[in-house]
């Protein structure tokens, strides 16, 4: 590392700079960390703040129907990203409205927070949607949404957009009138809330622990995307789980219930519709005050594929 004890020939640093080179010794000490050092900041968005604005945004007229509210992490400004690997957003689709057919190279999942609607794929198959449902949009697959009810349908968007952007492969296509099947060959995962609720009820036998259901690919049985996975956690006021920490980022979406979560030195009090971020390696402890269901979107598959995933109880 650079310091008074580093002896270099005269002019070496100037020559390196002219050739866009840099000596390893020139980097500051924290450039080679001894523990994970997240850039993402732990952050909390309240549903009572976000959803009224999402309803307003749902009624404005903008090109390509881009009316979602991006959850932008203040530590990552000026980028709109929620974490360095995950993009979260909230969208409200008014009654009688539709999102035109589109596709994109980032993979995406949608979790319905309230209301009803439908999701249509390239082959014309319809998936009726209701609160608590999760649906996956495989990358580069045509899809569209419609709300045939009189009330807004609100959902959480989760995408691997930051990963696709950094790999210089992010593409969004409004699409022609004639649609073609997904290049990925995958079918969309649609998990109705009734199925998830039933599985959680079977697992939630010990109220001192967390019952967790992982959403998996219906064909392979593996994670729903190569870049992210999703879990639904059920926990209650008798929870006695130890604090944990893990590498990688997570976004938590509160479907219902109340409680608080400590992330590092911050404490977030949450209720239905709230969303919060847990950055890599920060201690995490949940403290629900009633039986609650929280969705977790994580970039764990990326870290596992690279041999970088670590998790430990504290």
What is the rounded average pLDDT of the residues 88-116? 93
Q: How far apart are CA 67 and CA 146, in angstroms?
A: 14
Q: How far apart are CA 154 and CA 272, in angstroms?
A: 13
Q: Which structural domains are found in the chain, ordered by start?
A: 1-32 (no CATH), 43-313 (2.60.120.10)
**pLDDT score, position 187:** 53
**pLDDT score, position 143:** 86
Assign 136 to helix, strand or coil. strand
What is the rounded average pLDDT of the residues 28-55? 94
Residues in contact with 138: Cβ distance below 8 Å, sequence separation at least 6, in sequence order: 107, 182, 184, 186, 187, 188, 225
Instruction: Name the least confident of 55-59, 79-83, 122-126, 250-254.
Output: 122-126
The yes-or-no verdict on residue 1 having pLDDT over 50 is: no
The phi, psi pair for 197, rounded to 5°, reads -60, -40
**pLDDT score, position 7:** 62
The yes-or-no verdict on residue 176 having pLDDT over 70 is: no
* Average pLDDT score, the chain: 91
Beta bridge partners of 242: none
Q: Which helix (H) or strand (E) holds 235?
A: strand 229-235
The string of pLDDT tens digits covering residues 125-143 is 788 999 999 999 888 888 8
- Confirm if 296 and 250 have CB atoms less than 8 A apart: yes
**pLDDT score, position 188:** 63
The string of pLDDT tens digits covering residues 240-277 is 999 999 999 999 999 999 999 999 999 999 999 999 99
The yes-or-no verdict on residue 179 having pLDDT over 80 is: no
The phi, psi pair for 305, rounded to 5°, reads -65, -25
The upper half-sphere exposure of residue 109, i.e. CA atoms within 13 Å in the direction of its Cβ, equals: 31
Q: How far apart are CA 215 and CA 225, in angstroms?
A: 10
């Amino acid at each position: 590392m650079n310091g008074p004890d580093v002896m270099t020939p005269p002019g070496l640093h100037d020559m390196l700079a002219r050739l866009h080179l840099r000596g390893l010794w020139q980097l500051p000490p924290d450039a080679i960390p001894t523990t994970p050092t997240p850039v993402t900041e732990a952050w909390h968005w309240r549903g009572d703040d976000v959803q009224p604005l999402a309803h307003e945004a749902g009624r404005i007229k903008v090109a390509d129907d881009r009316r979602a509210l991006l959850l932008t992490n203040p530590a990552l400004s000026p980028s709109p990203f929620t974490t360095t690997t995950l993009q979260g957003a909230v969208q409200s689709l008014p009654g009688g409205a539709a999102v035109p057919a589109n596709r994109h190279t980032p993979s995406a999942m949608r979790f319905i927070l309230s209301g009803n609607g439908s999701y249509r794929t390239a082959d014309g198959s319809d998936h009726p949607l209701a609160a608590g449902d999760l649906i996956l949009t495989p990358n580069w697959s045509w899809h569209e949404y419609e709300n045939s009810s009189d009330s807004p349908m609100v959902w959480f968007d989760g995408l691997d957009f930051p990963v696709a952007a950094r790999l210089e492969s992010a593409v969004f296509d409004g699409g022609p009138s004639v649609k073609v099947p997904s290049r990925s060959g995958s079918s969309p995962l649609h998990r109705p809330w009734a199925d998830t609720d039933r599985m959680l009820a079977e697992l939630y036998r010990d109220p001192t622990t967390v019952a967790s259901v992982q959403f998996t690919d219906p064909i392979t049985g593996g994670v729903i995307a190569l870049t992210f996975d999703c879990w639904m956690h059920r926990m209650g006021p008798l929870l006695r789980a130890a604090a944990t920490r893990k590498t990688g980022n997570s976004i938590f979406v509160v479907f219902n219930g109340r409680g608080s979560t400590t992330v590092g030195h911050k404490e977030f009090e949450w209720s239905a519709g709230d969303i919060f971020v847990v950055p890599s390696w920060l201690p995490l402890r949940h403290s629900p005050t009633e039986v609650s269901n929280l969705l977790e979107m994580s970039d764990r598959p990326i870290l596992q594929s690279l041999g970088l995933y670590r998790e430990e109880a504290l």
